[in-house]
């Protein structure tokens, strides 16, 4: 029996007399409000053997920022197909919606995920943030999967049919009365699309989430309602009842196992092999791999070990918690593990508290996995402003950019990726790649062979600077004169 442990929680905006629902939900991660009945206890993805985080992105194409993460679950083919199709649908829709030029800030699509259940019923919640020039808008969709039948369904599949959906809509409208005129209850129609994100809290209540702007002014952020278990029970499908039971059992386990102490704070991250190369005397290059760990990361680690080469990894926190054993391997094999934010949002578009939150959570995930605290951060998309720099400084993090871009996320072939890396490499180069990309991993043996043939040693980023990196400073290349390093 895999252990269940909580790695986070959400605070959805609750429509109760306690009035805890007025603040806008965080775009980066949902606030924690203990005791909130609309809080869903997520399943720790590391307890799901065989789960693989997947990533869909499109590099720097067309002036957009896109990062879509979704999980692939073992023995759940129909769910995996559905999640992949949903990721592709959202990307297409976003491309279409942002085709027009003239945005002051780059439009951004960001999707991350949580597990609402992972047993004989599995649930995956995709949380989407879209930035279209002014502010973030957030939407959620939760998909369900029945291991017994092998069928995937939208959230309405938790209910026994259309009449049950009508009754749930009526119950939700009733509970929304407390919110007065702010909420447009007429918008709570019994449509599958409107009820596309439902899950259970630990008490077995059905938590119904609405998207930003869907049933009230956008300023309210997201709204959620918990329909009491006794009212919803007669309306559930057979799978819905098992999902409800799974949430109750998970909450019982959590209440026993909830950690009471802060995660360990280890020594700062250092390569176990650092110091073996003097970059003042040897030609050094720092290969960096972002956005993982993913399905090809283990293979990349094999390749690097075979070639006795070291690299720097910048994992996304949400993926790191799903595959902590890969971070442990990175660290044990002499690579350095940095911080690439929790969900890969452009940090320069977030409030300071959200930047800090994103870096904190990832730091916690990395430290829990490898016992060392990261000292480097690579801001997603390389986007840095004064707030990002200040928060990095407070966290003791040096900002690491790059000066060789392999453009490996633009659908390049392995050959093209290798050619770019090799042709642009120079002593002190920081090379940007992504270990979530199949062609990148295929390119690495060629890169290692050709650069080694030119006399290069493969080191971690701090070794380019003899370990003398300062928190809050941005580093792009080891041969860049310090006085010329850009500050933002
Ligand atoms: Ni990235």
pLDDT at 342 exceeding the cut of 80: yes
Does residue 167 surpass a pLDDT of 50? yes
CB atoms within 10 A of CB 177: 10
Is the pLDDT reported for residue 25 higher than 50? no
- pLDDT(47) > 90: yes
Ligand 1 centroid to Cα of residue 379, in Å, is 8
- The whole-number average pLDDT for the span 280-307 is 96
Ion ligand 1 neighbours, Cβ < 5 Å:
290-291, 380
pLDDT band at 256 (very low <50, low <70, confident <90, very high): low
Contact 438, 413 (CB under 8 A): no
Task: Give residue 99's pLDDT.
Answer: 83
Extract the tokens encoding 171. 């119950």
- Separation between Cα atoms, residue 33 and residue 9, nearest integer Å: 9
pLDDT at residue 1, rounded to an integer: 37
Q: Which residue has the higher pLDDT, 205 or 100?
A: 205
Using the mean position of ligand 1's atoms as its centre, give its distance from the Cα of residue 402 in Å: 12
Separation of alpha carbons 281 and 161, rounded Å: 72
Q: Is 434 a catalytic residue?
A: yes
Question: How far away, in angstroms, is 444 Cα from ligand 1 center?
Answer: 18
CA of 341 to the centre of ligand 1 (A): 9
Distance (Å, whole) CA 267 – CA 399: 19
Q: Ligand 1 centre and the CA of 240: distance in Å?
A: 37
**pLDDT at residue 15 greater than cutoff 90:** no
Lowest-confidence segment of 131-135, 367-371, 441-445 by average pLDDT: 131-135
Q: What is the pLDDT of residue 428?
A: 95
Q: Which range is least confidently modeled, 2-16, 199-213, 359-373?
A: 2-16
Q: How far is the CA of 380 from the centre of ligand 1 (A)?
A: 5
CB 237 within 8 A of CB 159: yes
Percent of the chain with pLDDT over 70: 85
CA distance 371 to 207: 36
The mean pLDDT value of the chain amounts to 87
Mean pLDDT of 212-235: 91
Higher pLDDT, 151 or 61: 151
Residue with tokens 């790059």: 402
Q: What is the average pLDDT across 413-437?
A: 97
Tell me the CA–centroid distance for residue 157 and ligand 1, in Å.
35
Per-residue pLDDT for 262 more than 70? no
CA pair distance 95, 107, nearest whole angstrom: 10
Q: Name residue, tokens 């047993």.
A: 119
pLDDT score at 18: 29
Among 244, 190, 184, which residue's Cα sits nearest to residue 214?
184
Q: How far is the CA of 133 from the centre of ligand 1 (A)?
A: 21
Can you tell me the distance from the alpha carbon of 461 to that of 480, in angstroms, rounded to the nearest whole number? 13
Distance 211 CA to ligand 1 centre (A): 26
Q: Which of 44, 146, 154, 290 is catalytic?
A: 290
Question: Tell me, what's the pLDDT at 221?
Answer: 75
Whether the per-residue pLDDT at 132 is higher than 90: the answer is no
CA of 226 to the centre of ligand 1 (A): 36
* pTM across the whole model: 0.87
Range in 253-257, 263-267, 414-418 with the lowest mean pLDDT: 263-267
Of 212, 395, 434, 442, the catalytic one is: 434
State yes or no: is 184 an active-site residue: no
User: What average pLDDT does this structure show over 83-104?
Assistant: 88
Lowest mean pLDDT among 171-175, 231-235, 248-252: 248-252
Q: Find the angle CA(9)-CA(14)-CA(15) to the nearest 5 degrees.
A: 170
Ligand 1: distance of its center to the CA of 481 in Å? 26
> Does 151 score more than 70 pLDDT?
yes
Tokens of 292: 């993982």
Q: What is the mean pLDDT of residues 379-385?
A: 95
């Amino acid at each position: 029996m895999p252990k269940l442990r909580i790695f986070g929680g959400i605070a959805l905006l609750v429509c109760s007399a306690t009035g805890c629902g007025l603040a806008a939900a965080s775009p980066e991660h949902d606030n924690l409000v203990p005791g909130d009945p609309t809080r869903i206890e997520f399943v720790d993805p590391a307890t799901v053997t065989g789960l693989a985080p997947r990533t869909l992105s499109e590099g720097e194409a067309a002036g957009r920022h896109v990062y879509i993460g979704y999980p692939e679950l073992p023995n759940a083919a129909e769910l995996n197909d559905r999640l992949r199709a949903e990721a592709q649908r959202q990307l297409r829709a976003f491309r279409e919606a942002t085709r027009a030029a003239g945005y002051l800030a780059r439009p951004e699509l960001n999707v991350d995920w949580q597990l609402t259940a992972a047993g004989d019923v599995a649930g995956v919640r995709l949380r989407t943030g879209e930035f279209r020039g002014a502010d973030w808008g957030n939407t959620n969709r939760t998909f369900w999967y029945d291991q017994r039948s092998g069928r995937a369904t939208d959230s309405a599949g938790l209910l026994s049919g259309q009449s049950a959906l009508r009754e749930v809509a009526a119950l939700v409208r009733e509970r929304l009365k407390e919110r007065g005129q702010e909420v447009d209850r007429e918008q709570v129609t019994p449509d599958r699309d409107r009820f596309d994100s439902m899950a259970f809290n630990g008490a077995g209540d059905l938590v119904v989430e609405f998207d930003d702007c869907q049933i009230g002014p956008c300023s309210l952020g997201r709204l959620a309602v918990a329909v009491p278990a006794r009212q919803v029970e007669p309306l559930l499908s057979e799978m819905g009842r098992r999902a409800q039971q799974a949430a109750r059992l998970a909450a019982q386990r959590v209440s026993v196992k909830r950690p009471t102490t802060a995660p360990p704070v280890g020594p700062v991250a250092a390569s176990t092999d650092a110091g073996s190369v003097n970059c003042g005397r040897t030609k050094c290059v720092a290969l960096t791999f972002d956005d993982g760990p993913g399905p090809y990361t283990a293979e990349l680690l094999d390749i690097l070990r075979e070639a006795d080469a070291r690299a720097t990894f910048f994992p996304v926190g949400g993926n790191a918690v799903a595959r902590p054993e890969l971070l442990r391997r990175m660290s044990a094999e002499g690579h350095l593990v940095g911080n690439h934010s929790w969900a890969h949002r452009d940090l320069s578009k977030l409030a300071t508290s959200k930047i800090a939150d994103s870096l904190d959570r990832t730091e916690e995930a990395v430290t829990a996995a490898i016992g060392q605290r990261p000292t480097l951060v690579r801001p997603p998309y390389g986007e840095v402003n004064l707030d990002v720099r200040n928060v990095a400084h407070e966290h003791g993090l040096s900002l690491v950019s790059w000066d060789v871009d392999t453009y490996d996320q633009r659908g390049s072939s392995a050959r093209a990726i290798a050619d770019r890396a090799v042709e642009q490499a120079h002593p002190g180069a920081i090379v940007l790649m992504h270990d979530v990309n199949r062609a990148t991993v295929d390119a690495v043996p060629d890169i290692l062979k050709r650069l080694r043939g030119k006399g290069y040693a493969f080191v971690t980023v701090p070794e380019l600077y003899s370990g003398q990196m300062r928190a809050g400073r941005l580093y792009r290349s080891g041969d860049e004169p310090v006085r010329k390093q850009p500050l933002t």
